[in-house]
Structure 1
Amino acid sequence: MSDFPSLAVMGRRIVILGPTNAGKSTLAAALSRKLDVPAIHLDRFRHLPGTDWQVRPDAEFHALHDEAIGQQGWIMDGNYSVLMPQRFARATGVVVVDDHYVRRFGRYLKRTLFEAQRAGNLDGNRDSVTWMMINWIWKTRNSVGRYDGFARDTGLPYVFCASLKDVRRLFDAWELTRS
C-alpha cells in the first residue's frame, strides 16, 4: 500500500494489530512521540513486570485495559481479541501490520537476545527465548487475515502494512521518527 491516509484522519486513539514481532510496539512508540499521547503496550498490562512474561490475572488485565481506553488519546498495540469491542468503541483509527513469519522469528531472536531496551518490553526486562514463543510465532503465521477482518469491520480509518517495508513507508508518509 503506497497511498496512506493522512495521520490527521486517524485521530488520536489508534489501535495497532498484527502478529507478534511484526513491528506493532515500535510503530506505537513512534506514533506516541508524534502525537504526544501515551503508547500503551497491551503486553505490559497482560504480563507481570519483572517476570519472563508471567500472565497477570484476567480481571486485573481487563481493568487496566478499560482504564487506559478511557484516556483522551492513546496509541494501543496488541491484539487480545476478547477486549477488542470496547477498544474499537473508543478508537479513532486502526493500523494492521504484518510480515513473513520467518522475518518475525528473526526479529524475535534479535530483540530477545540483543535488545535490552525496546518498545513494548516488560519492566524488569527478563526476556528469554522460549519454545512457547517459537511455537506461537509458527501458530500465528497466518493470523493477520483475522486482525484485518476485525479492523475493516470497525468502519474506522484504516491502514494495512503487509511487510516491514510497508511500515517503513508509513513512517516516511507520516513523518515518524525512529528511536
Structure 2
Amino acid sequence: MKRINVVGSSGSGKSTFSRQLAEALACPYLEMDAMFWKANWQGTSDEEFYTKLEKALNQETWVLDGNYNRTRTIKWAKVDTVIWIDYSLLRTVYQAIKRALYRSITKQELWENTGNVETVRKSFFSKDSMILWTLTNYQKIRSRYLNVFADPQYQHINFIRISSPKMAKAYLKNIAESKP
C-alpha cells in the first residue's frame, strides 16, 4: 500500500481517516478539496485542478482524500488501494451536522489561505448546504462505488470497504501495529 485514495460521501469521515492513515503510514496526506477550492468559495477550472492533482500525485507514496469522480482516470492511474468509508446514512448525516456546527461556531478556515469558513446559514439554510448535498447524493455515491468495486476495469486495485467507525479504528490500529 503506497498510493491510496480514500472515498465516500461528504460527512463520512474521509478526511479524518485519511489524515490518520497518512500519519500511520508516514506518507503525504493530499486533500482534493484543498486543491480545488480558492478564496470566496470559488472552484478551480478543470484544467488547473487536473494539473494540481497530477503534480501532487507525482510522488512515491500518498493518501489522497476525496471523490471528484471526474478525476478518476488521473487519480486511479497510479493508485494501488481505494478505501471506501461507507457508513450508514444516519451516521453520515449525524457526522455532517456535528462537523457543520463545530466549524460554524469556531469559524475554522477550511483550506489554508482561502478564508473559506462554514456558517450556520450556509450549512443549514442554503441550497449549497453540504448536509443537504449529503442527503440528496448519499445513495448515488453508494451505488457508484458498489458498481466500481465490481468493475473488471479496476481489478488491479485493492478495494477496501469500511462500514463503521469501529471498523475504521481497528483498521488504523492494525496499520500502526504492523509498521516495522
TM-score by length of 1: 0.80
Distance 1:140 1:56, change over 3 A: same
Matched residues, percent identical? 25
Give the counterpart of 1:147 among 145, 155, 168.
145
* Corresponding residue for residue 175 of structure 1: 176
Query: Does the aligned pair in 1 maintain the 2:25–2:176 contact within 8 Å?
Result: no
Find the structure with the greater CA-based Rg: 2
Is 2:73 aligned against 1:85?
yes
Residue ranges of structure 1 left out of the alignment (5+ in a row)? 1-10
Displacement after TM superposition at 1:112 (Å): 2.4
* Corresponding residue for residue 157 of structure 1: 158
Query: Does the aligned pair in 1 maintain the 2:107–2:117 contact within 8 Å?
Result: no
Displacement after TM superposition at 1:30 (Å): 0.9
Higher RCO (C-alpha under 8 Å, 6+ residues apart): 1
Is 2:95 aligned against 1:95?
no
Displacement after TM superposition at 1:151 (Å): 4.0
Query: Does the aligned pair in 1 maintain the 2:36–2:44 contact within 8 Å?
Result: yes
**Partners in 2 of 1:125 and 1:164 — Cα distance?**
28
Once superposed, what is the RMSD of the aligned Cα atoms?
2.3
Larger fraction in helix: 2
Distance 1:83 1:137, change over 3 A: same
Displacement after TM superposition at 1:24 (Å): 0.9
Summarize deviations over 1:30-56 as a string: whole Å, max 9, x none: 1111222111110111111x44x4322
Q: Which amino acid aligns with 1:32?
A: A
Give the counterpart of 1:57 among 32, 45, 51.
45
Distance 1:29 1:134, change over 3 A: same
Summarize deviations over 1:127-178 as a string: whole Å, max 9, x none: 22153222211112212231243245322122101222321222222238xx
* Corresponding residue for residue 32 of structure 1: 22
Give the counterpart of 2:63 among 75, 89, 94.
75
**Partners in 2 of 1:90 and 1:152 — Cα distance?**
19
**Partners in 1 of 2:53 and 2:171 — Cα distance?**
27
* Corresponding residue for residue 8 of structure 1: none
* Corresponding residue for residue 127 of structure 1: 118
Q: Which amino acid aligns with 1:126?
A: V
**Partners in 2 of 1:112 and 1:169 — Cα distance?**
26
Q: Which amino acid aligns with 1:107?
A: Q
Displacement after TM superposition at 1:117 (Å): 9.2
**Partners in 2 of 1:117 and 1:95 — Cα distance?**
30
Summarize deviations over 1:48-89 as a string: whole Å, max 9, x none: 1x44x4322222111111111211111001111111112111
